[in-house]
Chain A
Amino acid sequence: MEKDPNNILDEVTQGEYKYGFYTDIEMETAPRGLSEDTIRFISAKKNEPEWLLEFRLNAYRKWLGMTEPTWAHLHHPPINYQDIIYYAAPKKKKELASLDEVDPELIETFNKLGISLEEQKRLTGVAVDAVIDSVSVKTTFSETLEKQGIIFCSFSEAVQKVPELVKQYMGTVVPSDDNYFAALNSAVFSDGSFCYIPKGVRCPIELSTYFRINAANTGQFERTLIIGDEGSYVSYMEGCTAPMRDENQLHAAIVEIIALKDAEVKYSTVQNWYPGNKQGEGGIYNFVTKRGICKGNNSKISWTQVETGSAITWKYPSVVLMGDHSVGEFYSVAVTNNYQQADTGSKMIHLGKNTKSTIISKGISAGYSNNSYRGLVKMTKRAENARNFSQCDSLLLGDRCGAHTFPYIKTENKTSIVEHEATTSKISDDQLFYCNQRGIGTESAIGLIVNGYAREVLKQLPMEFAVEAQKLLSISLEGSVG
């Protein structure tokens, strides 16, 4: 029997969040609140050099003078920055040399999440850096990678091992006073991933970081730094989940990518933080600054993101196209449901000659959610023959949700070409009818259409992620089209 399409819509949009469990691990935390002492505490915990502490304190002082941005199309109660625990780490007794020494609880947690920390999963060919709450717990395959000269480790490890690289590049793409949340992160960042691909090396396996917020009342502030040296290639993936809690948790991360001459960095994210319940309670506030710089000629940075989680997403992965002939790409599917709010998009700053950028953004909003695309394409005077194409489409599933598009285009020279187009619509009755009359039920038809709609972006994902992303998409939207 044919179901009422409205019910199907409800069902589609009411899939449960299946990563909402909590693992009881012995934790070590900093006292609540933010002050110079907290920062000194974090820095001391991580045994950091003086310059890094200085960097943090500097950022903190700048942060004190800044105000939270209000321009985004987002509404949330004020965040009490003194009520957050800025450091939480699974207690570890000693340096981990092998997987056997990792807390079995932790391994269990990651197994539940479907993330293999075990070497036997070598066949999947993915090196994983697992970050729980604020701290990297385990990086797999690092020895294999080391043979090629690739450095893939936690950020704090990199600070100890290759301080000169960290010092040279950290904060060059996202300065510590770039914005409110970047300053906060620069002051209190706890850990994250660091990746360096040497000259001419093509990273043989996918690198991956898995972020998990576990402890209550904590904020997660990780920092990722990826450096692609001349002629190198790397594909990097990031995933994230969090337990279900009634209160909102803050996640303010920074990702910096540097691509030198002829380097290519591909960064994929499947963001699935806890989005809050159907009444809009709880969920993660996701305020992330991601930016890459194509420093050398012929370099390329590509962002792909599938955003299904978080109560609030505030995220604009950007590329500064500095080298001549460099390429920036941004592919995004953002799904909001219930009371989720997303304000996301991309910035492409063209500085070099013959630079090219592409922005493909697909927004899907359902329930009472609001989904905004916000982007900037800037062609500076020097960017001769630069080219941009942007397309941002929105799909509305339900009559209580909102879809908004805020594209900014600034052109300062006569040879560049910028094209922007956007559409907003619901799934058309024609399309549904077409499927129905060929014997495809409304529910499958909706799934088909939504997947087809997002296909352009999903096909950019590495295979391991594409499967997960497609599943996520169908779960996030289970039952949602009328």
Chain B
Amino acid sequence: MDQVGSLNALNTGIMDGTTTNYNTREALLKLFDERIAGYALNDSPELTAMRREAIAGFASAGFPHTKMEKWRNTDLTRVLNHDFKFPEAPVMAEVDLEEIFRCEVPGFDTHMIAQLNGWFIERGAGLSQAAQGVVVCSMAEAFEKYPDIIASHYGKYAPVKENSLSALNTAFAQDGVFVFVPDNVEVNEIVQIVNLVHSADPVFVQPRNLVILGKNSSLRLVHCDDSVDDQVGFINAVSEIVLSENARLDHYKLQNKNDRSALVNNVFFHLEAGANLSTNAISLNGGLIRNEVYVRLNGRGSHADILGVYLMDRDQHIDNQVFVDHAVPDCTSNELFKGILDDQASGVFNGHILVRKDAQRTNAYQNNKNILISDKAVIDTKPFLEIYADDVKCSHGATVGQLDSEAMFYLRSRGISADNARMLLMYAFAAEIVNKISIPQLKQRIDDLVKKRLRGELSICDQCVLHCNSREQKVSFEIDMSKI
């Protein structure tokens, strides 16, 4: 990668750890001024202009704070107060990916791409369908090889004004994953992006992904966010995903981060006529996770399923923000988010369905269900409808409660212990989302993880970066009916 040289230069200056609290807006602006000349050497003039516009957007808005409506329940200050560094590109020869990470999904045959500290890592085998024009490469490479695609899509969906973190990403983004599927191609292999953070220092990472699906194409994409150590980190990711006419995308986000990390994941979906999106966010662990999903239904007959499940405990914080924009008539969307919160964990759900004028015959559904296990857990939910067309069917619901006492009684009356009964009910609660996973191995794995999580094992073992229990043998996670 030819950017490595310039990157070494980037890793100097105020990132040296000499400044404390570098996260201030001013420090970042200063950093940008120092670096933009270096960026411009590799960037197209359009990209440089875009970066400048983005930094201006960030400059005027600053970091999101709790006085902002969309951020009132998520306080970033607790994760921003670190002496972050922008990591440099890893030297390929020195990276042994197997050493730091190995996919935990047994029998999960995927085309795996790794991102280390935001940087794309070249892996041995290429995609088998490369001959059909399917491209999976680094953003840096895409800028060089596919300038036309970049020019028409890059930065076209992620706003640089209203969303200051997305703007910050646009201003500083150096690398990420680029996926292109040509018209009429169905990708057989599952593409798996593993986003890893592994660094001795606290890092501030700005991964940037672009996924383009041509007409009538289809893709299955699994996006994993993992920590491989217990270091503090802030990932500010932006993905732009375009579904052309009648394209199909099956998208999964798996989040299993350490408690000291922060992850803000902005995903912008753009759907043309007849496109079909299914996106599923599974958040198992993480100090602070914020998923912002923007779905623009831009062509008639497009459909989006937006699902999510979150199981949080200790001091963890999960925030799901979903914005569904029904811009044209005859589109449908379906949102379902379920969560279980224990200990002092806090959860936020903020769903927003916008039905624009004349987007008639829209059918939109939104639901958020939560279970609080402890008295210290907090949930804020706001399912929000904004509707400007009359021939619509929109409904939403939100519930917060505890496990159904009658169901508990039923199970207890059949001799199931209180603990087991509680677990069964929680498992059943989460299963509604897990069962919708269409990739069998992944479903099995998530199912196992959920069970483990509910038994409290996940927080002890999988939180541990050694992965000692999942290295070699597959552990049986079945509910042992004989014990029940």
Contacts and interface: CB of A to CB of B under 8 A. Distances in A.
Contacts of A419: 397-399, 401
A418 interface: yes
A399 B398 contact: no
B379 A420 contact: no
B395 A424 contact: yes
Interface stretch (B140-148, B194-202, B369-377): B369-377
Interface in A399-457: 399-426
Given A399-B358, A409-B400, A414 B390 contact: no
B316 interface: no
Contact of B384 (A406, A410, A418): A406
A133 B401 CA distance: 48
A424 B384 contact: no
A381 interface: yes
A396 interface: yes
B388 A402 contact: yes
B33 interface: no
A403 B354 CA distance: 10
Contacts of B401: 416-419
Contact of A424 (B370, B375, B385, B398): B385
Contacts of B387: 394, 396, 402-404, 424
A51 interface: no
A407 B384 contact: yes
Contacts of A417: 399-402
Interface string B359-400: 010000000001011110111111111111111111111111
B327 to A, nearest CB: 15
B393 A407 contact: no
Which of B69, B375, B393, B398 lies at the interface centre, i.e. has the most chain A CB atoms within 10 A of its CB?
Answer: B398
A231 interface: no
A93 B392 CA distance: 59
A29 B192 CA distance: 75
A414 B377 contact: yes
Tell me the interface secondary structure of chain B in the complex: strand
Nearest to A381: B375
A394 B390 CA distance: 10
A400 B356 CA distance: 10
Contacts of B123: none
Nearest to B367: A421
Contact of B379 (A404, A410, A415, A425): A410
A398 interface: yes
A179 to B, nearest CB: 16
Contact of B380 (A394, A406, A409): A409
Tell me the interface secondary structure of chain A in the complex: strand
B398 A420 contact: yes
Nearest to B374: A414
Contacts of A399: 357-358, 360, 389-391
A407 B396 CA distance: 10
B346 to A, nearest CB: 9
A66 to B, nearest CB: 15
A406 B382 contact: yes
Contacts of A422: 383, 385, 395-397
A402 B386 contact: yes
A347 B382 CA distance: 14
Contacts of A418: 398-401
Which of B390, B400, B402 lies at the interface centre, i.e. has the most chain A CB atoms within 10 A of its CB?
Answer: B390
Contacts of A413: 372, 375
Contact of B396 (A71, A396, A402, A405): A405
Interface in B41-77: 69
Contacts of B385: 394, 403-405, 422, 424
A412 B400 CA distance: 10
A362 to B, nearest CB: 15
B380 A408 contact: yes
A379 B375 CA distance: 11
Contacts of A73: 386
Nearest to B346: A412
Nearest to A379: B400
Contacts of A381: 375
A52 to B, nearest CB: 34
Contacts of A416: 400-401
Contacts of A403: 385, 387
B399 A426 contact: no
A420 B368 CA distance: 10
A329 B386 CA distance: 25
Nearest to A378: B380
Interface string B286-319: 0000000000000000000000000000000000
Nearest to A481: B390
Contacts of B375: 381, 412-415
A73 B386 CA distance: 10
Interface string B64-103: 0000010000000000000000000000000000000000
A414 B388 CA distance: 37
A414 B370 CA distance: 10
Contacts of B391: 399, 426
B378 A410 contact: yes
A42 interface: no
Interface in B397-428: 397-402
B399 A420 contact: yes
B385 to A, nearest CB: 4
Nearest to B355: A424
A342 interface: no
A421 B395 contact: yes
B397 A421 contact: yes
A184 interface: no
Contacts of B392: 396, 424-426
A462 B445 CA distance: 59
Given A404-B387, A421-B395, A425-B394, A414 B373 contact: yes
A420 B397 contact: yes
A412 B378 contact: yes
Interface in A56-83: 71, 73
Contacts of A414: 372-375, 377, 402
B380 to A, nearest CB: 5
A397 interface: yes
A402 B389 CA distance: 7
B360 A409 contact: no
A433 B357 CA distance: 26
A204 B395 CA distance: 43
B396 A404 contact: no
A423 B394 CA distance: 6
A51 B417 CA distance: 64
Interface in A203-238: none
Nearest to A393: B395
A411 B370 contact: yes
B395 A423 contact: yes
5 contacts: A399-B358, A405-B396, A413-B372, A415-B375, A418-B401
Given A404-B384, A408-B381, A421-B397, 13 more contacts: A379-B400, A396-B390, A402-B388, A407-B382, A407-B398, A411-B370, A414-B372, A414-B377, A422-B397, A423-B395, A424-B385, A425-B392, A425-B393
Ranked nearest first, the 5 interchain pairs of A and B with the lowest CB-CB distance are A396-B390, A414-B372, A423-B395, A417-B401, A424-B394
Interface of A: 71, 73, 379, 381, 394, 396-426
